[in-house]
Amino acid sequence: MKFVLIFMLLLPLSSNCLAALPMLSSISAGNNLSLKQSDKKTKPSQSPKLKVSTRKDAIMRVKRQYKGKVLKASSARVQGSSGYKVKMITNDGVVFYVYVNAQTGRVNRYSR
């Protein structure tokens, strides 16, 4: 450790070296450095795991439960949480909407 301190002192002093000197002197003296709260790397807050993460997943879930052709699918709020709204038409020509809750994966049909 003393070698590092001596080596740093032999280099021409620049602003980077001057900033490092107090830290090096505390290391050579055996002092423990504690990081400030702002220096610690923190993980970003993770959102809850979604059971349905894409529009394609929502369409696949709807097709498993209902017969018919998908006309349109878009993201929408479902009971206050994120989800998807899928517009479908049956073989008889009846148009209906299916809402998919992204967090729970629950599928609900609503006629229009």
Residue 54 has φ and ψ, to the nearest 5°, of: -135, 165
Q: Please tell me the predicted confidence (pLDDT) of residue 29.
A: 52
Distance from first CA to last CA of the chain, Å, rounded? 77
Q: Is the whole-model pTM more than 0.85?
A: no
User: Residue 85, SS3?
Assistant: strand
Residue 96 sits at φ, ψ, to 5 deg, of -145, 160
pLDDT score for 111: 63
- Return per-residue pLDDT of the chain as tens, 112 residues: 455 444 444 455 555 555 555 554 544 555 554 545 544 554 555 556 888 999 999 999 999 999 999 999 999 987 788 999 999 999 999 999 999 999 999 999 876 5
pLDDT of residue 47: 57
Neighbour order of strands in the sheet with 69-78: 69-78, 81-89, 95-101, 107-111
Task: Reduce the DSSP state of residue 105 to 3 states and report it.
Answer: coil
Domain 55-111 has CATH 3.30.450: no
CA diameter of the chain: 88
Domain ranges of the chain: 1-38, 55-111
pLDDT of residue 80: 85
CB 107 within 8 A of CB 85: no
